[in-house]
Amino acid sequence: MNRRLALLASALCALLAAPLPATAEDAAVRTVEFSADASRAAPNDLAVAVLYVERSATDAAALAREVNQAIAAALDTARAHPAVKTQSAGTSTWPVYGKDGRGRIESWRMRADLRLESRDVGAMSALVGKLQSSMALAQIVMQPAPETRRKAADEATVDAIHAFEKRAQLIAGALGRRYRLYQISIAESGVQQPAFARMRAASAMAAEAAPAPLEGGESQVSVSVSGRVELLD
């Protein structure tokens, strides 16, 4: 029995040590490269808005107090809307130089931004409308929430992989060959559609303290699967 095992082990070692029937270069020659795409619709269930206060003054300290007071008042207003997440989105101050060419600072300008985010479109609309009485609206968009986008991307990935597999079968079948996967990569992209929300928000700026009209719609989340398959004899 031991002798038979030794012979079997020797045969296996010889088989593993034997050269492969095809080199990497040969395999590359027998490969076909292509891609397949798929998309899924994702509801735009998250509203994101950026509002700002911008002022000018000759006294930098007085300017900072004025802008900070305006932001503090806006934050107080936002606290009455707990469904809306509010956070500071940056503050900047810069000098305004005179036109005499001497590089003399004539005044200062300061801007502070607030970012609002909510899945409650009604609460977001009401808060933006109130804040527009004292702040300017830089942008408002509707987009998929992270978990909504992830779900659509996962579904699109499965669809794209199936499409890639189906195309591999088609190509190999047309050539009368079998195939096996040689290389694959997956890339995700999203085509958001926020233009309508921006347009409606811009028209709402004319109505002081009026709710900002918002409409969600959908975004297309796309996934592309690309790779190579090796054609087998």
Helices and strands (H, E) in the chain, number of each type? 6, 7
pLDDT at residue 217 greater than cutoff 60: yes
Residue 14 forms part of a structural domain: no
My answer on whether 60 and 138 are in the same domain is: yes
Which token pair is 114? 């607030």
pLDDT tens column, 25-79:
555 568 999 999 999 999 999 999 999 999 999 999 999 999 999 999 999 999 9
Which token pair is 16? 């593993």
My answer on whether 51 and 112 are in the same domain is: yes
Asked if residues 203 and 149 have their Cβ atoms less than 8 Å apart, the reply is no
> How much is the pLDDT for 207?
45
Amino acid at 75: L
My answer on whether 164 and 177 are in the same domain is: yes
How is the chain split among helix, strand and coil, in percent rounded to 5? Answer: 40, 40, 20
Residue 11 forms part of a structural domain: no
- Domain closes at, from 105, 123, 143: 143
My answer on whether 226 and 170 are in the same domain is: yes
In the block, residue with structure tokens 């079948």: 173
Domain extent for 186: 22-45+144-194+210-233
> How much is the pLDDT for 47?
95
d(CA 224, CA 201): 34
Residue 28 forms part of a structural domain: yes
My answer on whether 152 and 172 are in the same domain is: yes
pLDDT at residue 2 greater than cutoff 90: no
My answer on whether 167 and 60 are in the same domain is: no
Residue 17 forms part of a structural domain: no
Asked if residues 83 and 53 have their Cβ atoms less than 8 Å apart, the reply is no
Nearest CA to 137 out of 81, 201, 73, 77 is that of 201
d(CA 54, CA 113): 9
Nearest CA to 122 out of 55, 183, 47 is that of 47
pLDDT band for 12, please (50, 70, 90 cuts).
Answer: very low
> How much is the pLDDT for 190?
66
My answer on whether 101 and 177 are in the same domain is: no
| Ordered alpha helix ranges (H), 82-183 | 121-131, 146-174
Residue 139 forms part of a structural domain: yes
Asked if residues 53 and 134 have their Cβ atoms less than 8 Å apart, the reply is yes
pLDDT tens column, 150-185:
999 999 999 999 999 999 999 999 999 999 999 999
Structure-model confidence comparison of residues 195 and 217, the more confident one:
217
d(CA 216, CA 144): 9
Q: Residue 24: phi, psi to the nearest 5?
A: -60, -35
d(CA 2, CA 172): 46
Residue 202 forms part of a structural domain: no
CATH of the domain at 137: 3.30.70.2970
My answer on whether 129 and 182 are in the same domain is: no
> How much is the pLDDT for 209?
53
pLDDT tens column, 189-216:
865 554 444 434 443 444 445 566 677 7
CATH of the domain at 226: 3.30.110
Please tell me the total count of domains within the chain. Answer: 2
> How much is the pLDDT for 23?
54
Residue 184 forms part of a structural domain: yes
